């Protein structure tokens, strides 16, 4: 069976690179599943959960917002953040979420709000992925 090469890169590193059977992405227009031989597609992802299916097992990752390039044999994700489910520290993410929410309730300038909102999205995505596993 044909496989897809899934690559996830952030500006800091190449986080993930493997041959997978199927990828589920948090697209801007809803969740989308990608199988091999997909038509070439460029799209955006929002912060959320990315699932890579490999040999009947699902691997979960939390991703930030970014872009995806899909060709018949490759899915390349470029994003601000990507963390494998196993590497997520739940207490840390929870703490980050609380901190971000607390800061949002304060009065902030626009640029601070944007930064805090982004980190909130990131921590929520991480938490979602981590809790799903159980």
Partner 1 sequence: MPSTRDIRRRIKSVKNTAQITKAMQMVASAKMRKAQQAALSGRPYAALMNEVLSAVAGNTGDFTNPLMEVRPVKKRAVIIVSTDKGLCGGLNTNLLREVGKFDKDTTVFVTAGRKASQFIARSKRPLAAEFTYRDNPLFSEARAISKFAQDMFLKGEVDRVDVLFSNFINVMTQKPEVRSFLPIGEIKAVEAGLDGEGGGAALVKSTTEYLFEPGAEQLFGNLLPHYLNFQIYQVLLEAKASEHSARMVAMKSATDNAKQMIKDLTLEYNKLRQANITRELLEITSAAMAMG
User: Interface residues with partner 1 (CB under 8 A)?
Assistant: 7, 9-14, 27-29, 39-44, 66-67, 69, 71, 76, 78, 80, 110-111, 114-115, 118-119
- What tokens does 91 get? 């207490």
CB of 128 to partner 1, least distance (A): 20
Measured from the CB atom, is 22 or 78 closer to partner 1?
78
User: What are the strands, taking DSSP E only, across the chain?
Assistant: 4-9, 14-20, 22-27, 30-34, 41-45, 48-54, 57-63, 66-71, 74-79, 82-84
Measured from the CB atom, is 21 or 69 closer to partner 1?
69
Dihedral angle computed from the Cα positions of residues 29, 22, 75 and 37, in that order, rounded to the nearest 10 degrees:
-100
Number of Cβ within 10 Å of residue 125's Cβ equals 26
CB of 102 to partner 1, least distance (A): 18
CB of 40 to partner 1, least distance (A): 5
CB of 59 to partner 1, least distance (A): 19
Measured from the CB atom, is 1 or 39 closer to partner 1?
39
Q: Which burial class, exposed, middle or buried, applies to 92 when counting CB atoms under 10 A from its CB (0-12, 13-18, 19+)?
A: exposed
Measured from the CB atom, is 14 or 132 closer to partner 1?
14
């Amino acid at each position: 069976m044909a496989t897809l090469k899934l690559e996830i890169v952030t500006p800091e590193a190449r986080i993930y690179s493997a041959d997978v059977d199927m990828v589920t992405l948090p697209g801007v227009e809803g969740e989308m599943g990608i199988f091999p031989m997909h038509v070439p597609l460029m799209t955006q992802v929002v912060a959320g959960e990315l699932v890579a299916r490999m040999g009947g097992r699902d691997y979960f990752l939390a991703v930030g917002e970014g872009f995806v390039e899909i060709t018949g044999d490759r899915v390349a994700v470029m994003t601000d953040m990507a963390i494998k489910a196993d590497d997520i520290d739940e207490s840390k993410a929870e703490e980050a979420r609380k901190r971000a929410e607390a800061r949002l309730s304060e009065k902030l300038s626009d640029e601070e709000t944007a930064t805090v909102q982004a980190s909130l999205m990131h921590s929520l995505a991480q938490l979602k992925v981590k809790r799903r596993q159980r």
